[in-house]
Amino acid sequence: MPKNYISNKDETVRMFRNDLLESLSRVHWSVPLIIYLPVIAYLFYLSGGVFGIWQISFYFILGLIVWTFTEYALHRFVFHYEPESEIGRRLHFIMHGVHHDYPNDSKRLVMPPSVSVPLALFFYFIYLYLLGDKAINPFFAGFLSGYLIYDMTHYAVHHLRIKNKFWLMIKKHHMRHHYKDATKGFGVSQKTWDVIFKTDFIDS
């Protein structure tokens, strides 16, 4: 399979003629931490008034696990869906194609708030309906923590010098997705669901 990148430099292409839209499509890696860490802390605060440590831990871990599947499913079935219409292809490029063309663009490695906030609200209200107004707090704290791990991992594997064996394995997994076969390796922060659904890379 041919390599599917244009540039390995920290550069990008302009996606929008409008300066405001263009600015909203690019973000510093620290912005998700600034936005979501206080939200996670507040969710923990709300949880403490209702549940004990074991119940909080259970729902928090459940939220983390659900995020890992969400990460895999979004990447595989949404970000890599290839529509046939011109508008669809344009939306696909804006959503994810630009990252494959410019994988080391440091301002398009974490999800911009213009996308992550509406998505977070979407998932929040789905799980609020499913879990109720008590369990949602520790669960969503775990879900958002998983999202932050995903975003920070994605930035790290593209831009940091990694020496730890575990994180080197995660980096290798993601680099293969970019430079070997984009139809495999959809997990970014972990590869659990790639193994389960047989989209992992098998070493010869």
pLDDT at 154 over 80: yes
What pLDDT sits at residue 95? 66
What pLDDT sits at residue 114? 86
pLDDT at 204 over 50: no
**Could you tell me the end-to-end alpha-carbon distance of the chain, in angstroms, rounded to an integer?**
16
**Cα→Cα distances 90→6, 94, 104, 107, 154, Å:** 17, 6, 20, 20, 23
Would you place residue 189 in the very low, low, confident or very high pLDDT band (cuts 50, 70, 90)? very high
Nearest CA among 84, 65, 101, 99 for reference residue 193:
65
pTM comes to 0.88
pLDDT at 89 over 70: no
Would you place residue 59 in the very low, low, confident or very high pLDDT band (cuts 50, 70, 90)? very high
The per-residue pLDDT of the chain, averaged, comes to: 86
The arithmetic mean of pLDDT across residues 49-69, rounded, is 95
Q: Is 192 exposed, middle or buried (0-12, 13-18, 19+ CB in 10 A)?
A: middle
Would you place residue 84 in the very low, low, confident or very high pLDDT band (cuts 50, 70, 90)? confident
Q: Are 197 and 189 in contact (CB under 8 A)?
A: no
Q: What does the alpha-carbon distance between residue 168 and residue 13 come to, in Å, rounded to a whole number?
A: 29
List pLDDT tens digits, range 113-147. 888 999 999 999 999 999 999 999 999 999 999 99
What pLDDT sits at residue 142? 98
